[in-house]
Structure 1
C-alpha cells in the first residue's frame, strides 16, 4: 500500500518485484518537505519483513535506519492479516470455494475466526515495530500511516463481493486501523489517520483513491491498492501532520 505498485513511473533502482513507485507517498512527501529519502517500501511486506526477514533478497526494512533520521513513516500490517488477499478471494466466483486446494485457501481467507486470530497477532507485532523504530531512530519523528479505505460503507453494494464478505473486509480494516492507532500511542509514535480521511473515496465511489478488485495486468495500478490520486491524498495528510496542521 505504501510502495504504490503499478503507479508510474517506477522508482529508480527499485528491487524487482517491489512495486516501488517514484510517485508513492514517501517520494511525494520527501519532494514537498525537502527531505533526502531512503525508500524501502516493498509490495507484499509484513511486519516480519520490517523487523527481521529478508524479502526477495532485500534486507529487513528496519536495517535502513542508522539514527540520523528526521522522519520515519510506516504503513504495515495489512499483509499480516491477509486483508487484500481476503478481498481478492471474495471477488472470485463462488464455485472456486469448492475446488480442491484452491478452495481451501479461499475458505481460510474468508473465515472470520482465522482473520480475527491474525488480527490478534498483528496487534503486538505493530507495537514491536513502533518500539524498534523508536529505539533505532531516537531523534526521528515516527508516523504510523494507516490504510486508505477500500470498501464502501455498510449497505452500499461492493460487487462482486457479497454483503457478508464485504462486512468481513470492513471488520478487518476497522480492527487493523484501531490496532495501528493503539500501537502508535503506546510506543511514542504518531498516527496519520488515512482510514478516517478517505471514507468518501472508497474504490466504488465517484472519486476513488483506491482500485477495485481485478486482475493485476502489467502497466496498470494494482487492484485493491492506492491509485495516483490516493497516493497524492496520503502525501497531503502526511505533510499536514508534519507541518502541524492536523
Structure 2
C-alpha cells in the first residue's frame, strides 16, 4: 500500500471526533483529547493538525453559529479552517437528530424517576430531551453537511474531505443491564436513531462528493455490552467526571483512526 502524503489535516465535528474523557484531555471546555482520531490520523500521516472539534457541536456550530459551553464561546468551526488544509475530516450530525449524550442520559434519569408517584415525570423528561425526528430536521442536517463540504473545498482550494460516521453505541447484541439502564424499547429507539445519523452522513457525503468512512458498520460488533467495546456504557457516578458514557473509548478512537488511514492508503492520495 502506498503511504498517502498530506501536509495539514483539519478536523471538524462533535464529541465522537473530539474524544471527551480520553486521556490526555487537552481542552476540557471543548471535550478534546490528544488521543482522539484526528490526532492519531495526523500522527500516522506525519501531518500538521488543526483540531476544531467541540463536544456537543451541531452542524450549525460547524457552519456559522457560535457554540456556548459554560462561560466560553467557541466560534463557528469553519471560521478556524486553515486555507492550506489538504485533508479535512467531518463528524457531526448526531446532536442535530437527538442522538447526543443529553438525550441518552435523559432516558437514564427518566427510567430512574418512572417509579416516583409524580404523574408522568419520568416520561415527560424523556420526551423533552428525545425530540421527534421530523423529515425537516433530517433534511436540514443533510443539507447543512453538504454546505459544510462545499465551503471546505472552496476555502482550501480543493482539500480532500472525509465524512466520518459515528461509532455504533447500541448494537444488535446490546441488552438492558448496568451499562444500559434502559428497557428493550428504548434501546431499539436509540439504535434506530444511530442508524439514521449514519444514513444522513452517508447521504450528505454522496451528494457532496465527499468520501464516507462508515465507522458505524465497522463497529457494530463493538457496541456497548460487546466483548470488546469501542464505546463506553454507563459508569459509576464517581467516574463520570473522568469518563463520558456512550462515547468512544481509547480503543474506539484508535479503530476509527485506523479505518481512515487504511482508506487513505488503499484509495490513493
Residue number in structure 2 paired with 1:107: 127
SS at match of 2:20: coil
Residue number in structure 2 paired with 1:86: 103
- Correspondence list, 1:63-74, <5 A: 63-74=79-90
SS at match of 1:115: coil
- Correspondence list, 1:1-246, <5 A: 1-11=16-26, 14=27, 16-55=28-67, 56-84=72-100, 85-94=102-111, 96=113, 104-110=124-130, 114-117=132-135, 118-153=137-172, 156-159=174-177, 160-214=181-235, 215=237, 217=239, 220-244=242-266
What whole-Å deviation, never above 9, does each CA across 1:113-134 have from its counterpart, x for those lacking one? Answer: x134543432222222222222
In structure 2, do the counterparts of structure 1 residues 216 and 133 end up closer, same or farther at CA, with 3 Å as the change threshold?
farther
SS at match of 1:144: strand
SS at match of 1:235: helix
Q: Matched residue pairs, number?
A: 240
Shift of 1:245: 5.6
Shift of 1:185: 1.2
SS at match of 2:51: coil
Shift of 1:153: 0.6
Alignment RMSD: 2.3
In structure 2, do the counterparts of structure 1 residues 136 and 218 end up closer, same or farther at CA, with 3 Å as the change threshold?
same
What are the ranges of 5 or more consecutive residues in structure 1 without an aligned counterpart? none
In structure 2, do the counterparts of structure 1 residues 186 and 211 end up closer, same or farther at CA, with 3 Å as the change threshold?
same
Shift of 1:99: 6.7
Is the CA contact (8 Å cut-off) linking 2:213 and 2:260 kept in structure 1? yes
In structure 2, do the counterparts of structure 1 residues 107 and 135 end up closer, same or farther at CA, with 3 Å as the change threshold?
same
Give the structure-1-normalised TM-score.
0.88
SS at match of 1:182: helix
Distance in 2, matches of 1:36 and 1:185, equals 27
What are the ranges of 5 or more consecutive residues in structure 2 without an aligned counterpart? 1-15
Is the CA contact (8 Å cut-off) linking 1:80 and 1:122 kept in structure 2? yes
In structure 2, do the counterparts of structure 1 residues 162 and 218 end up closer, same or farther at CA, with 3 Å as the change threshold?
closer
Give the structure-2-normalised TM-score.
0.81
Q: Which has the higher strand share?
A: 2
